[in-house]
Amino acid sequence: MSIQTILVIGAGQMGSGIAQVAASAHRKVLWHDLSLALIDKGMLAIRKHLERSVAKGKLTEEAKESLLSRILPTGDIEQAAEVDLVIEAISENMAWKTALFRKLDEICPPDVILATNTSSLPITEIAAATTRPSQVIGMHFMNPVPVMPLIEIIRGLETSQIVFDTVFQLSKELGKTPVEVQDFPGFVSNRILMPMINEAIFTVYEGVATVEAVDTVMKLGMNHPMGPLELADFIGLDTCLSIMEILYEGFKDAKYRPCPLLRKYVKAGRLGRKSGQGFYTY
């Protein structure tokens, strides 16, 4: 299958990055959100990112404008009927995702692939909301999408081999390194990362060390580019809590119990960088 036209749904940080990367690979990108104002904001962010690349000599002005011309904002989800692949990048909410996939299933021709950028929710459950579970797959991009090379490619229970092969090859053409992962809570990345972040929060909660000390130990002792608490702020503490709850619910194992301090910060609105305060102040 040849993927030439992609619909990206969601104008947040992940959707913006996916739209940019797809356009960089010379794909036509339709970009949809419930609010065109959010897409305008996303387009501005992409333009600023590309202008920095031009200033550094990594991209020509002509290439920048050509890339931007391949991203077409749309407020009409019915245009999903015109694409080869849909990549959903909305909030991590199962009810919202399954409702969207049911809608896409009604609009899209039977051969269109429906992909989700979920970081932890079951692909099989999302696929079950459609009449085409063999055409549903997970494409978990890493944040920030234009920089991070990895994509976890997650098969649902019914995902066909041709769909998997098509998405795996497309990921390479997007300049990424795809890795096959099976459909279990958190996949690989978040099943390993989030418990580490959660345990780092427990060390602060229990008074083992300060926030700065925990991050320094992991950066200087383990050669991590960011400390786990700094990384949690970057990801968003609400997102970290949501993923830990999915792991806890999915495995029914106490080792995935979210730290009470994480819950307290989220309830207080201390969500990290996006709110101006988390474990650090921004």
Binding site members for NAD(+): 10-15, 33, 92, 97, 119, 143, 274
Task: Tell me, yes or no, if 119 is annotated catalytic.
Answer: yes
CB-side exposure of 42: number of CA atoms within 13 Å?
Answer: 25
Task: Tell me, yes or no, if 152 is annotated catalytic.
Answer: yes
Tell me phi and psi for residue 200, to 5 degrees: -65, -40
Q: Is 37 helix (H, G, I), strand (E, B) or coil?
A: helix
Active-site residue identified among 120, 171, 190, 242: 190
Task: Tell me, yes or no, if 140 is annotated catalytic.
Answer: yes
Active-site residue identified among 119, 171, 198, 242: 119
Task: Tell me, yes or no, if 78 is annotated catalytic.
Answer: no
Tokens coding 124: 């099989």
Please, which residues bridge with residue 86 across strands?
7, 114
Give the position of tokens 């299933």: 105
Tokens coding 67: 């890339």
Residues contributing to the annotated binding site: 10-15, 33, 92, 97, 119, 143, 274
Active-site residue identified among 152, 171, 198, 230: 152
Query: Cα angle at 269 between 263 and 275, to 5 degrees?
Result: 125
Rounded distance, CA 52 to CA 108, Å?
A: 37
Rounded distance, CA 173 to CA 156, Å?
A: 22
**Nearest one of 119, 117, 155, 99 to 245, comparing CA atoms:** 119
Rounded distance, CA 100 to CA 274, Å?
A: 26
As annotated, the active-site residues are 119, 140, 152, 190
